[in-house]
Structure 1
């Protein structure tokens, strides 16, 4: 009896193994097949291996997305996903069952999603099909699209494609592509809580009111890469082509995606491994998304109070105006909220010129937020009418005077608008400068001159260019009145930063007793301040600041205070009292990258790569995108802090100029940053942004390996200089040695190799060979190809510099 049972189990096992082998060759999955959501989870492949079905990890909350993606493209381009509003927790399971079809359950066995059908087949077209034993198609992903259409996919009348919420959030977004009953293909956006659909902002105009048989009835994306709308017209039919240019599908992958920002785009990607491997646009709709949307309802292409600027690729760029900040700092396409308050309750019925002032914005408008229009009227009268109206938040002077109140919707920048917007703010508050909108096709420059048509400051402020230092250009915006807090402190610095007295900061830090860090610039203390509510802050007490350098200190603090980026630590205030110079920063509870990276447990590969990307974006902002170019001069893991979500935040930027010259060189070159120093510091060569690129390269290799660059505690035989060893491993093709038992990194070997090559390019001994941080960011994110890296130190051994 036991022998018979054993024989039966053996036969069943062999049958299942055969079925699984078939699944690897023809894309079909037998009943009972399952995948568990883990970092190294397998996937179900189509027979060609070009498409995969399975779990993709998300960037938040340790959740996974059941999805279909291109298996042969390094960037995980997802073309279909299930239940984006409720992604699966780790250890969830998707299984093909006999009675319920494809079933997705959480780790406790609770149902998350199901298809209610049987056998699954992952087709080479990217279509996941569920069918019965007779091969009848009972469900398919092509008939239930999310945000993407693929070649051979058809959308019938009534079909809907919906955008995701953001680039990385797969919850339902607010934009839709629909084929209406009347034959029009339209784009519209909706109110998410109720799914109420607003007016279209694009229509294909394939509805023929005079002859309904000539109207559109089917959207086809054919196997040749053409997308068109088929019209009802007898046996032959007519079609309205959306794709005008032939890009062969034999050589390129194709997809058409309704992007999270509302632009519907057909893309292509080369199948060959050589050349520029990135998604490029064939066409997109609409041509201008920064227009009035929703017939006055909703926020428009960007969030409320935001400004939409059309980029060269017809995608929108959203920016908050001066004095406004993102409601959700992680969603730059979301709504903006004012950093100040305008209220009739405090001001009575009238505002006055003593209480309020304006920031002037050129060629910016929020056309659907009007409540009054005055005509005829001149510019001064328009400004005064808004000052004297406590309900007025913005006045637009263009063909009359248009008065607006918050929230502002459908904001946009348009060079042809020929108008001015006067944005009102209280005089006790100084709005921070924000970079002007960029014209399509224009390259960003580190220079701070404003171009015609950009957002500029108006009659209440003027631009004052000041040359500071040997290699930095800075600007300061001088207002007619100083903030009351600054006047109380007796400082001449005009800025929106809060001024603290030394006594206030001594009380906030319990007489500077709670020190939790020290760097090349001074000791850092933890403290609490009252600003409407109790806030925890980090107070940095600067050492050996340039003596008799009051003007220099104020100028540099003002420059630091005007920076605004999610990968920079925010400066909240300062103290400049006698010999006491202190800076007050936001407090980040997760500490430094050094503690996180070199601690007892190794952070996940995904966390490390995201931290590296964040640091690169922060440095790009400092070098090229903020009003004044800032060279950090001391990039190292101790100067990278982590916020509550483990996002990288660069600290101590802009402080290098505040130190005594000799000390600056000593601290930056040797004492505080052994192992991170660019060779030019020792060769009397010009110091440029490339010193930061070098330090970033060293730190990137540390992030890859979770090991310090210079570790003299280990023996010579154990490769004490990391960058030397990393280059040797790269040349020998032994990348797995660098990461030890890190299986997550080994399973993502293409990303590992890309990041290592970028790091080696950054540590080139010759500064001219090092890429800019813009190029570094593009290479890290896979936007551009990373060439083979040359020997980084052909003339000498860099480790000699870093150990002196």
Structure 2
């Protein structure tokens, strides 16, 4: 965040936006006008038709609110009396919303009698209007606003709307149920904007995001209707920007800031489709917190949050089960009863044991903190009646009473968490059972002599066994070294060519902390983050996990293809391990993450020029590999992999074509979260190309070079042709992307995709 000073003149312009009717088009609703659900008269639209006020369906009934009319689906932005049950009309229950002659906006039904939706507190009402800003207002006879929905927000503020100091936004219970949810955003009177879980004390421990702007200043939250920026403002103008500004055109874009069901604050932009004049699927411009598992309370008591496909998932902590399997976010309950504590608060340690989990964290204030070793921390929690779990981070031990809250798994946290659980029957028996050993009675000197002889015999036998074992261990090590050398020769790696390091399996297991942190997964195994040279050098370890025969072929192919390569656009192979059936490859660690992370997992995407450069660099790397190839991951495989036809370098061309289209559109080849006709990227791209609508491929209306966009799309379509012979060579691809050679109009990639 950064601070900015605004001149007095700009402040006047800004505060002119406070008035909900300045320059806004409107449609008038007069006294006596009524709405009825399930009819053509169920809503009052704004002049542009982008917003509607009236009845919307919620469950089996209807609620009253305001929604944004979208191309695919509507977005509810305000709900009246949100915790009232939905109204269910029937022949015996007529539901009506009316601007009554006394100026009150009243909901009537036999089910709930009369409910006041809005009324004036400072004068009489003569009319109402649904404005194009998304604000529903009541006017007096002088056409002055005497009530407005903008002053009573639920989970959303719209462009031009202000959340006053002391106000709050409260999330909805679910995407289908807009009653009060589990999180709220407070614009505090001390000037700090803070996100809290509901049913908390709103303490610093409960907060999971704040702007840290507490200065005992009266600040308001304002969403700019022109560029979508979220800012804190005071009487002098903008005090501090929270989110970045958008480059979208304000004429065809509507902005909203919403506290989501899962507690994340997001700013969305809704662009208008130039043909249908309806709003397209919203684009996320900004969000906090960055990790959805950082939301305190996203998972209930005695459960922890972990990411699954970038979405928060709630799992029970050891020693507990779900309170409701159908509502995993509700938390978990202990699955055992506790025995009474011994005198002095000492625990009955025979009843418990410690279950250890790594990379855990929780935001709750610890009940006890001290400096100690890991073993001391574990023992301290086991013996403490009040300890339900302990978190160890060198060399600090934090003990926590049950129930546990705000727990999450974070692979960046180098911690060990110790959870007290009931001991298994085997371990309990081992602890509680005792074995009585009968005393030995020495009866004579003869017995003593026999014992001494037997003892000396056992000692001599043990020494002989150790000597023989040492000899065979030495022989096994020599044979293993020879076997590794033979593997190197079989792989065709001569001594002068083999500059890679040979690792042992245990060495790589230690380097990756037991293969804990997974970086990604391919068709033959996963890649894990590790460190060697006492943690000074980071590495990426690929563990081949398929069948031995298949893994051996993969191992040999990858060693031959990459072992001798040296190119700035290729990841360098540093070494390998080949013990027994275990096959591991050690690569240099790419600290900036994968291309998928860059394109799909960030709140912002690389600029167009950067994406063009990435595409060319990837093409150059493949060109350098020349005729070397490795089977790839499903989704990027050429059609010939599924057929009984020969495989050539053209399979790599196909994979590159899919990646090239992903770089252009900043989305995956298969995405089920979009419209049905856009799920398969290659099919959608060709459709847009034929219809001359390539602008639809660019996320958020980004400014791009139209010529380079068309070039990259055409090259991508040529690369994914179903017939391998139609695909260009990598050399031709590089020349086309660099603009050296012209790109012809590609045919349809495959009849199957259309």
Largest Rg, 1 or 2: 2
